[in-house]
Structure formats: structure tokens, C-alpha cells
A = this chain, B = another copy of it.
Amino acid sequence: MAIESIERLTVQLGRLPGIGRKTAARLAYHILGVPEEQAQELAQAITDARSKVHNCPVCGTYTDGELCEICADPRRRTDVLCVVSDPRDVIAMEKTREFNGRYHVLFGALSPMEGIGPKDIKINELLERCREGEVKEVILATNPDVEGEATASYIARLLKPLGVTASRIAHGIPIGGNLEYTDEVTLAKALEGRRNL
């Protein structure tokens, strides 16, 4: 009963993150059941996204223009860079409407466990941008996990000799959070990062 093209679709869908074998089969059968145009729209959307979207040559985030909207915007400050691991983090930061500088996407974080070293992520490109002289501060907004922390301190060390200030986003209790249910590491960070009122 195994039909080769259904099997192949199931395998391909199963390569997506968080989609197991059973979910992939369910999605494959769903795709067989929807109107032909809808299936084609999905296939086309995949092809189009891959052909139209590329990395901004300056910051690395995804764009369908020559430069991304942020790098192309002359009103954004060029003296402060926010360094993130992933293009999605740029979107998350932009939603705050609190940052008016530019970005640099690393595409990953240092992880000796997974064999990801400094050359595997866009650290050299960041140093290059900093060497051009315009950048005065780099905000390290990598994730607050082991890899993100290691990446932030590694980059901070490299920025010092360039005369660029490196800062790290604050860790603490999320708004709406609860002391009782906050893990001790976060709580320790919240205490350490306390500010006078």
C-alpha cells in the first residue's frame, strides 16, 4: 500500500522542525485532499520564498530587496548595532519599537558540543563592520542560554581592542512573571541586575 510519491512527500514534510513521522503523514494526506490550486499555492509559496528572499548583504537578515528595510533606512542610527542569532530575532526586536539602530545577524551561536565555532557564524562579518569605524556600541542580544552567553562574551572580548562598547541585554523576571515560579538562575540574574529606584 506504500505509494512512492505519498511516501516521498511524507519524508520531506518530516524534515521540517517539530514535524514527526505521524504528523508528516497526516499533512501529506491533507495535501492530497485539498483542492489542486491550494496544493499548488503551497508549493509555489515555497519556491517563491526561496527565489525572492535572500540575505541582506549588510546585516544578513532576510529581504526581498537589495538591502533590508532597516539597512536601507537613512533614519536608523549607524553607530549602534544589535547582534542577534537569527532573522526572527530581528523581527522580535523590531516589535519593541525601542531600538533605532541597525542589526547584525550571526546565523547561529557558538556551540562546541555541536561543533559550531567562530568561523561557522557571522562573527568576522561583524568585526569587519565594526572596523569601518562608524559603530560605537554593539548590543549583544543572543539568547540567554549557554550558547548565547558564550557567543556574547566571545564577541565582547573581540570588540574591546576595536574600541567598541559591548553591552548585553538584561536578564530577569519576565513581565507578568511570578517570583515563585521563576527558576533560580533567572532569579539570581534578576538580583544581580537590580537597579536603584
Where the two chains meet, the residues of A that have a C-beta atom closer than 8 Å to any C-beta of B are 1, 3-6, 8-9, 11-13, 15-19, 23, 25-34, 36, 38-50, 52-53, 62-64, 68-70, 86-88, 90-91, 94, 107
Contact = CB atoms under 8 A, between A and B. Distances in A.
Contacts of A28: 49
A171 to B, nearest CB: 23
Contacts of A12: 41-42, 45-46
A9 B48 contact: yes
B17 A63 contact: no
A70 B40 contact: no
Contacts of A11: 45
B49 A9 contact: yes
Q: Which among A9, A64, A86 has the highest number of chain B CB atoms within 10 Å?
A: A9
A69 B5 contact: no
Given A1-B90, A91-B1, A27 B16 contact: yes
